Amino acid sequence: MSVKVLKHLATKRDSKNRSIPQYLVKCECGKEWTVSAPNRTNNCKECSNRLGAEKRKTHGDHNTALYAIWRSMKARCNSPKAQSYKNYGAKGVSVCKEWNSAFEPFRDWAKTSGYVKGMHLDKDEKSKKLGFSPAVYSPDTCQWITQQANNKIELQMNTDSYEKTIVSEYERGRTITSIANQYYNGRGKSTSAKTKYIESVLKRHKVWKRIRA
């Protein structure tokens, strides 16, 4: 549905004395009203409310936990305003076209893939196995996991990221001692204990050289 511009009206001044153009527009339902930006207006308020209600009735699940999971997934991947966007969409994590366009395909997949209320949607483990980087939310790359399993995966991801930072700093030429003092989180540990931990990380990643210690 869209509006039709009937005519350009006289401009008016806003609170900052700026000149704002006014237009008389008409909705497809027949209602006429005045707007300042007709290109941003799709329909009148009554039609917007009706269309919104019809859309919500399409699947009848808009108040469910599963619908909230779907909306949250899309927001963190698509909306820069979302609080967690910086960790998802900003890093290239995306939602497949099928799930991004409608809730029903996601709901149907969930019901046949072991979804139980309270479980978490994981896309990291399967994405990694299939070679998707950044990860993708899709039927092939997602699974339902428990809170405990989700915590374990997040802990491993944080550990991997932490160790990559240590390796990167070492390869830039920094000494183990300087890296340990900046990145090792163990409070109360001696310098020797810190450097031994950093050495263990570097050895695990096969980049440690004693001459650089």
**pLDDT at res. 54:** 59
Domain stops at, among 145, 174, 197 = 145
Ramachandran area for residue 188 (φ above 0: left; ψ -120 to 50: alpha; else beta) = left
Domains: count for the chain:
3
Does residue 76 sit in the same domain as residue 53? no
- Residues 32, 73 contacting (CB under 8 angstroms): no
Ramachandran area for residue 12 (φ above 0: left; ψ -120 to 50: alpha; else beta) = beta
User: Letter for the amino acid at 76?
Assistant: R
Query: Each residue's pLDDT tens digit in the chain (213 positions)?
Result: 456 788 888 888 877 888 888 888 888 787 887 877 666 666 777 877 776 665 655 556 778 999 999 999 999 999 998 988 998 999 999 999 999 999 999 999 999 999 998 888 999 889 989 999 899 999 999 999 887 776 666 666 666 667 777 788 878 787 878 777 776 665 556 777 778 877 887 888 777 665 444
Does residue 158 sit in the same domain as residue 203? yes
CA nearest to 184, candidates 173, 171, 199 = 199
Does residue 114 sit in the same domain as residue 79? yes
The C-alpha atoms of residue 179 and residue 194 are separated, in whole angstroms, by 9
Does residue 69 sit in the same domain as residue 140? yes
Domain stops at, among 18, 40, 57 = 57
Distance of CA 74 to the CA centre of its chain: 6
Does residue 160 sit in the same domain as residue 137? no
Does residue 127 sit in the same domain as residue 106? yes
Does residue 114 sit in the same domain as residue 95? yes
The C-alpha atoms of residue 182 and residue 201 are separated, in whole angstroms, by 15
Does residue 125 sit in the same domain as residue 87? yes
Question: What values do phi and psi take at 33, rounded to 5?
Answer: -160, 170
User: Letter for the amino acid at 108?
Assistant: D
Does residue 169 sit in the same domain as residue 114? no
Does residue 74 sit in the same domain as residue 35? no
Domain stops at, among 57, 84, 102 = 57
Does residue 30 sit in the same domain as residue 85? no
**pLDDT at res. 1:** 47
Contacts of 213 (CB under 8 A, 6+ apart): 175, 176, 177, 195, 199
Does residue 123 sit in the same domain as residue 165? no
What residues make up the domain containing 44?
A: 3-57
